[in-house]
Structure 1
Amino acid sequence: MFAALDLGTNNCRLLIVSSDRGRLRIVDHYNRVVRLGEGLYETGQLSQAAMERTMVALRHCASKIEGKRFSAFYAVATEACRRASNADHFLSQVLYETGLNIKVISPREEVELALAGCNSFLHDNVLKRNKTKALLFDIGGGSTEIAWVKIDFARRKYILIGCFSIPVGILTLREQFNIATLQNYYQMFDFVLSKVMEFEAIHRIQAEIVRNQVQFIGVSGTITTLASILLNQNKYNRAAIDGLSLQTAQLKEIIRTLLDQKFKETEILSDRYKKRIHYLLPGCAIFDAIHTLWPVNDIVVADRGIRDGIIAKMTTNKLRNYYKNHHYLLNQ
């Protein structure tokens, strides 16, 4: 069995799989909103309440792992722990209390794992073969990662041309901008747009879009939620979302609906989405800015990410230099 834990700024996620003759089967999984990065924008530290919430989730993850025999286990933390001045202390406490040895990874490592998680799209013919480039973006709780990728369909491989990390995600952007008016939404939009233009200046992606050579891969809760709204799902169905190919215009229309719901007080969305709109809108502003700069027509929705990338790399022994030193340690 293999296990991967992703401690993000907003969520704590665990995935446990078994492997039989190269085929993977999900044994157990866990996903809890912990908001570890709540208040980080103002204080530069993880708050006591956020650490306590997260510790509860990590104890639960440890209980799922304890007693099982693993070929490998790898646990990572991302933007909140990269940025917080007290992250090292918190992770030391996590190791002491739960036995989970969590490594803080760089933005590039985060991008590489997200790409590895989406690699099977090349094998399953999810991506359009007439387009040689992909722009992958992962909207997280504390940061947004962007990868500019060349696709080699003949060899079923991809080449990472460049990557970029914007230090804003749904949690930190919401704290930075008070979303009280439509103007606040466009302030978020303008802020993100100014950041992603730096990446465009280096890689000239717009020229490839004009040549119709680019498609999006959207890896985030924001994009999967927008797709779920589009499909009018009463209950989220991952099987119907993961690998779904859409027109970006469809997602932009959903964003307009969300803005109407928030600022014109129209009764459009179900209660399930109304409760999440405060966290959805920052993610929408990030996607809106990305798409405005890079108006790609096609998007593949990916309900996968770092956990899946870790599993993919472990099962092909590409993480062997990491997990020997970053594994599950049970304190007796």
Structure 2
Amino acid sequence: MTRVAAVDCGTNSIRLLICEYDGQHTRELHREMEIVRLGKGVDATGELAPAALERTRAALTHYVEIMEFEQVTDVRMVATSATRDAANREEFFAMTAELLGRIRPGARAEVISGEEEAALSFRGAVADLDQSQGPFCVIDLGGGSTEFIVGQPNGLVLGSHSVQMGCVRVTERIMRSDPPTATEIEIALDFVADQLRHVETIVPVADARTFVGCAGTFTTLSALAQGLETYDPAAIHGSELRFDALKVLTREVVAERSSERAQHPVIHKGRADVLGGGATIVRGIVDMIERNTRAESFIISEKDIMDGIVADLCRKSETDENLPDPLA
């Protein structure tokens, strides 16, 4: 048995996935998310805030303790590109090396290429969806950016692109009032539409048959649409969000104050203030899809880049076990 872990540190949250692999099957042992808002204010200052770094250190320390308890032998951590661009980035990377080194010497956070990120995200998101519904377009809506990946069920990526719009970025740059003003909403929608024009040019959106929504904005909207009383990943994963109902829901979410959103039991307190920005992005994405295809809904996936990373680590463990022992 091999136990491996994936950590994804984005603009808004840091997440952990631990799985066990027996050579044939992968079993999920632990999945967790914490809002740390690592990218808070980076647009304005060019630096990771000390408080944000401390929140991230505390969360990652907790994750490493869980890995040690679960006897994890290998780990891979990916981080948002904002960490690479921040003036004090070395403080962040040194901190991750110190902590992850307790699991595997030399491990530290890495900023991967857009191509690798697309392949990992796509593989994770569609792994247990109905493969006959491909080609898929996976949309991973994060805090600072949103990735669009079109590919075949076998994992072949036909096209991908990352645009610098996410729920935190849109909120901090444009939708600063609470609730946002009509002018802010209009400016945000124009910004989203402008970003999506690049997606339409680069990614073969029209070739996709099924559109898959990943990450916190999409999964939270699914929980709200279903009227869940608690956040239930099993109910959310594989659920369908129809565009007509989604248009109504996103308008309602955008119109609410963050304090009102925070009262919903399925909305994480750390997501309440940026969910309006995320919902605005979803509205724009729906418009783009309807312009290019006959699709009428999203399929929501609770799986994403972390599941792709785990799959790669499990394959690596198989290869390592088959290598000849140099001491034999």
1:27-69 deviation line (CA, Å, top 9, x unaligned): 2233111000001010111011110111111111121123654
The answer to whether the 8 A contact 2:138-2:214 is kept is yes
Matched residues in 2 for 1:88 and 1:15: separation? 25
Q: Which residue of 2 aligns with 1:117?
A: 124
Please report how far the alpha carbon of residue 226 of structure 1 lies from its aligned counterpart in structure 2 after TM superposition.
Answer: 0.6
Matched residues in 2 for 1:245 and 1:201: separation? 27
Please report how far the alpha carbon of residue 121 of structure 1 lies from its aligned counterpart in structure 2 after TM superposition.
Answer: 2.9
Which ranges of structure 2 fall in alignment gaps of 5 or more residues? Answer: 102-106, 321-328
Counterparts of 1:204-283 in structure 2, within 5 Å, are: 205-206=205-206, 208=207, 214-262=209-257, 270-272=263-265, 273=267, 276-283=271-278
The answer to whether the 8 A contact 1:36-1:80 is kept is no
Counterparts of 1:306-321 in structure 2, within 5 Å, are: 306-317=305-316
SS in structure 2 opposite 1:175? helix
Matched residues in 2 for 1:194 and 1:7: separation? 27
Please report how far the alpha carbon of residue 98 of structure 1 lies from its aligned counterpart in structure 2 after TM superposition.
Answer: 5.5
For 1:222, give the aligned amino acid: T
TM-score for both structures, normalised by structure 2: 0.83
Which ranges of structure 1 fall in alignment gaps of 5 or more residues? Answer: 152-156, 322-332
The answer to whether the 8 A contact 2:125-2:138 is kept is no
Q: Which residue of 2 aligns with 1:190?
A: 190
For 2:169, give the aligned amino acid: T
Please report how far the alpha carbon of residue 119 of structure 1 lies from its aligned counterpart in structure 2 after TM superposition.
Answer: 3.3
1:249-295 deviation line (CA, Å, top 9, x unaligned): 222221122234349x9x89954449544211111111111111121
TM-score for both structures, normalised by structure 1: 0.82
Matched residues in 1 for 2:318 and 2:238: separation? 25
Q: Which residue of 2 aligns with 1:101?
A: 108
For 2:45, give the aligned amino acid: T
The answer to whether the 8 A contact 1:314-1:320 is kept is no
- Number of aligned pairs? 304
The answer to whether the 8 A contact 2:136-2:150 is kept is yes
SS in structure 2 opposite 1:316? helix
Distance 1:250 1:52, change over 3 A: same
Matched residues in 2 for 1:215 and 1:294: separation? 10
Matched residues in 2 for 1:216 and 1:140: separation? 16
SS in structure 2 opposite 1:299? strand
The answer to whether the 8 A contact 1:149-1:162 is kept is yes
SS in structure 2 opposite 1:66? helix
Q: Which residue of 2 aligns with 1:303?
A: 302
Q: Which residue of 2 aligns with 1:167?
A: 164
Q: Which residue of 1 aligns with 2:325?
A: none
Matched residues in 2 for 1:190 and 1:249: separation? 21
Aligned CA-pair RMSD: 2.7
Matched residues in 2 for 1:94 and 1:197: separation? 36
The answer to whether the 8 A contact 1:257-1:268 is kept is no
The answer to whether the 8 A contact 1:261-1:269 is kept is no
The answer to whether the 8 A contact 1:227-1:251 is kept is no
SS in structure 2 opposite 1:251? helix
SS in structure 1 opposite 2:26? strand
